[in-house]
Structure 1
Amino acid sequence: MKLKLNRRGVTQVSRAALVLPVLVASAMSGCSSINDAMAPDKIDYKSAAKRTSTLDVPPDLTKIEGDRRYSVPDQNGTSTLSTYNQSTKTVQQQANSENVLPVTQGIRMERDGNQRWLVISNGTSADKLWQSMREFWQESGFLLVQDSPETGIMETDWAENRAKIPQDFIRNTIGKVFDGLYSTSERDKFRTRLERAQNGSFEVFISHRGAQEQLTGVDKSQTVWTPRPSDPELEAEFLSRFAQRLGVQKEQADRMVKSGGTGATTAAAAPAAAATAATSGGNTTLTQVNGTQALQLSEPFDRAWRSVGLALDRVNFTVEDRDRAQGLYYVRYVDPRDTVDNRGFFSKLFTKTGTEDSKKAKKYRVALKGDGTGTTVTVQNDAGQPEGTDVGKRILSLLDEQLR
């Protein structure tokens, strides 16, 4: 390493000697930042919505009583030793019975295979629950493109998980000033579906759709956005966060995700619960029923209803209405052969559904009929007649791919 003396007599290190340690430090910090950013619990979505600071306090936060075991006894001269011992024993019993992190009652998570949903039976009204859902997605950094209390469907716009951007030395300096210069190659959107069960409780489903940017062309100079598979673990993470939004403690919500229950499952019972959930998914078979194409599910009606509803959400069908008693989903579907769209895939993927798309979409009914052990799924036209065209077969094929 060469040393040089300037006019003031101060030793100067050559440029190469100065740059090398900086690059090494930057690389080391960059690797650490990448690992941190890619951690599954790092989620920071950002859209065009204006982000405002929120008060991170659970809604049901109450002040925990202090430990009164060592409080000074009554000083008025009337307390006796036996009275003091009895009061101390009572306080000790109360302290042992208290739980610093109590289990929230009336909110639990159910699981069937890779599908999870929240069951809320704590007496919360539908209006209050819907408002909590709206605030939850907005505080998470999303714009809402569908907010329909009538159908129980709430859908976010496409957003980017900014936590996946590597936090290296350059990003931490230049990126703070020019944040828009950095972007990931993935986008996500979520659909929330609220249903009222037969016993009066509410069921909350969250489904995920993803897209990724890929290079195309001979010289890889162009990019296109293509769909990527849904992420059930990301759905479970947002279900957990929404449960916390409703007052569930984080530790309890984490146990909910792992066990698929209320969060009070013991460590010994957790492996059994996970094994049951992993093998609970039913098989699907495309078949013919009375000359009509049908999808046969080897699971009872209740489970099939949830599975088909979540599959419709993941495939992005427009569910206009549903009738659980009749086993009907009223959906809109756009036949690709009826559409001629000159827009690029990026424009079609990241723009809101316009009036032209709604005009091209046709109404269909997805009908479910259970026989006690299995469930048959068929497609009907808007008049309730069997849809024997290729469109009906295509809808069943899409559902089959999601339910496998």
Structure 2
Amino acid sequence: MRFAVFRLSFCALAVVLSSCSGIGLESKKIDYKTSAASKVPTLEIPPDLTSPTRDDRFAVPDTAGKGTATFSAYSGERSPQALAQQQSGVLPQVDKARIERSGNQRWLVVAGTPGKLWDQIKDFWQETGFVIKLELPEAGVMETDWAENRAKIKEDALRNLLGKVIDSLYSTAERDKFRTRLEPGLEPGTTDVFISHRGMYEIYVTEGKDQTKWQPREPDPELEAEMLRRLMVRLGSDDKRAAAQIAAAKEKPADRARLSRGNDGAGTLEVQESFDRAWRRVGLALDRVGFTVEDRDRSKGLYFVRYVDPEVDGQKKDDGFMSKLAFWKASGPDPKIKYRIYLKEVGSSTTVQVLSFEGGVDQSETSKKILSLLYDQLK
């Protein structure tokens, strides 16, 4: 009897909460929570350190170079117009970033060097809810840990009630991670910032739904664009202006890319772009399809890469989107084998080839699959 009364009371409470939950609440599209054990908290100013409102009654007028002080000069210095002008000099409202787009790839062109932007971008990811898993400043690469988008959890009275007490009861079947690449910009004094997305989703592997596995899902260009917009705001751009730039970055005419095979049997990917632009786009494409760039030599047109096995990266192998990356299933190579991606400018276009780590042209089926994956991103 007591159990029935408790159950009835609990249901009534849930109904009341559900009716209140729909009032004045705006759902968020992105609300990440890292899957790591710890999260670096954002800094907050303690309440007892809040600066009190300044009282100007006892302020001493600035008489440097004047010799005398007048009430009219003092009043002019304290006018709202003068104070606004002083503040505008401290915090100028000038956009430091803009959006560029080519095909389904977008990136930021930001004023400043990669070294000066590094800490700001790191703070941005931590404030968004991620833990930084990989930092390679010398390669200009930063990568987050896997995290779930809590905004995809359906909100209801029971979720609002229990989620605050036992939050681990609620989780999504999707995880995301992001890699940020910083390249010196084509314009002096600027940096190109690329953000690439990788996603996983959980599926049941038994009829009884007692076992699951994680498998990759396709990169989401629109999610990358949203993160670029948020980063623009974090770097000082106005929110509305950042959104307008994302919308205005219309897709340019499709960049032509063509796969071919030479007389020696080696595959070649030809990109109808200059070396500078092709270099940046190939780097982003490598990030998207799961390769780790361990080093690079732009003067020689070389990316030194290896593929990260999903099982080694904390995930299980799959038969989904990126299963074709599991080269070892068919041809047997060790997934730890490293490759060189070689770019060479030929006239107004750029050729891309896969070399062995020793430097010779790779003619294997693995090489053809790598070029095919890059072609899907660059066509």
Unaligned runs of 5+ in 1: 1-13, 58-77, 261-269, 350-358
> Does structure 1 residue 231 correspond to structure 2 residue 220?
yes
Q: Deviations over 1:277-336 (max 9, x none)?
A: 323331332212343211122333333222211110011201011222332211123799
Other structure's SS at 1:136 match = helix
Sort the Cα spacing of 1:24 and 1:180 in 2 relative to 1 into closer, same or farther, 3 A.
Answer: closer
TM-score (norm 1): 0.68
Residue 301 of structure 2 corresponds to 327
Asked if structure 2 preserves the Cα contact closer than 8 Å seen for 1:49 and 1:141, the reply is no
> Does structure 1 residue 245 correspond to structure 2 residue 234?
yes
Sort the Cα spacing of 1:141 and 1:97 in 2 relative to 1 into closer, same or farther, 3 A.
Answer: closer
Other structure's SS at 1:142 match = coil
**Correspondent of 2:292 among 294, 299, 318:** 318
Sort the Cα spacing of 1:162 and 1:16 in 2 relative to 1 into closer, same or farther, 3 A.
Answer: closer
Sort the Cα spacing of 1:228 and 1:370 in 2 relative to 1 into closer, same or farther, 3 A.
Answer: same
Deviation at 1:344, TM superposition (A): 4.5
AA of the residue aligned to 2:339: Y
Deviation at 1:51, TM superposition (A): 4.1
Return 17-26 or 297-306, whichever deviates more.
17-26
Residue 278 of structure 1 corresponds to 251
Asked if structure 2 preserves the Cα contact closer than 8 Å seen for 1:46 and 1:162, the reply is no
Return 313-322 or 22-31, whichever deviates more.
22-31
Deviation at 1:362, TM superposition (A): 1.6
Residue 377 of structure 1 corresponds to 352
Residue 215 of structure 1 corresponds to 204
Task: Quote the Cα distance in structure 1 between the aligned partners of 2:167 and 2:308.
Answer: 37
**Correspondent of 1:188 among 166, 176, 195:** 176
Deviation at 1:396, TM superposition (A): 0.6
Residue 44 of structure 1 corresponds to 32
Other structure's SS at 2:122 match = helix
CA RMSD in angstroms comes to 4.3
Return 147-156 or 183-192, whichever deviates more.
147-156
Q: Deviations over 1:239-282 (max 9, x none)?
A: 23333333x14x35x4335425xxxxxxxxx7xx44xx323331
TM-score (norm 2): 0.72
Sort the Cα spacing of 1:373 and 1:255 in 2 relative to 1 into closer, same or farther, 3 A.
Answer: farther
Sort the Cα spacing of 1:372 and 1:280 in 2 relative to 1 into closer, same or farther, 3 A.
Answer: farther
Equivalence map 1:71-220=2 (5 Å):
103-122=93-112, 124=113, 126=115, 128-197=116-185, 199-218=188-207, 220=209
**Correspondent of 1:392 among 359, 364, 367:** 367
Sort the Cα spacing of 1:303 and 1:15 in 2 relative to 1 into closer, same or farther, 3 A.
Answer: same
Other structure's SS at 2:163 match = coil
Return 128-137 or 321-330, whichever deviates more.
128-137
Task: Quote the Cα distance in structure 2 between the aligned partners of 1:154 and 1:141.
Answer: 15
Deviation at 1:91, TM superposition (A): 8.5
Max Rg structure: 1
Deviation at 1:53, TM superposition (A): 4.8
Asked if structure 2 preserves the Cα contact closer than 8 Å seen for 1:295 and 1:378, the reply is yes
**Correspondent of 2:242 among 256, 273, 276:** 256
Sort the Cα spacing of 1:23 and 1:201 in 2 relative to 1 into closer, same or farther, 3 A.
Answer: closer
Task: Quote the Cα distance in structure 2 between the aligned partners of 1:360 and 1:20.
Answer: 53
Task: Quote the Cα distance in structure 1 between the aligned partners of 2:259 and 2:336.
Answer: 24
What fraction of aligned residue pairs are identical, expressed as a percent? 46
Deviation at 1:192, TM superposition (A): 1.2
Sort the Cα spacing of 1:289 and 1:164 in 2 relative to 1 into closer, same or farther, 3 A.
Answer: same
Asked if structure 2 preserves the Cα contact closer than 8 Å seen for 1:236 and 1:257, the reply is no
Task: Quote the Cα distance in structure 2 between the aligned partners of 1:53 and 1:299.
Answer: 43
Sort the Cα spacing of 1:21 and 1:321 in 2 relative to 1 into closer, same or farther, 3 A.
Answer: same
Sort the Cα spacing of 1:371 and 1:136 in 2 relative to 1 into closer, same or farther, 3 A.
Answer: same
Asked if structure 1 preserves the Cα contact closer than 8 Å seen for 2:199 and 2:216, the reply is yes
Asked if structure 1 preserves the Cα contact closer than 8 Å seen for 2:183 and 2:192, the reply is yes
Paired residue total: 337
Deviation at 1:32, TM superposition (A): 7.9
AA of the residue aligned to 2:140: G
**Correspondent of 1:306 among 259, 265, 280:** 280
Asked if structure 1 preserves the Cα contact closer than 8 Å seen for 2:114 and 2:184, the reply is no
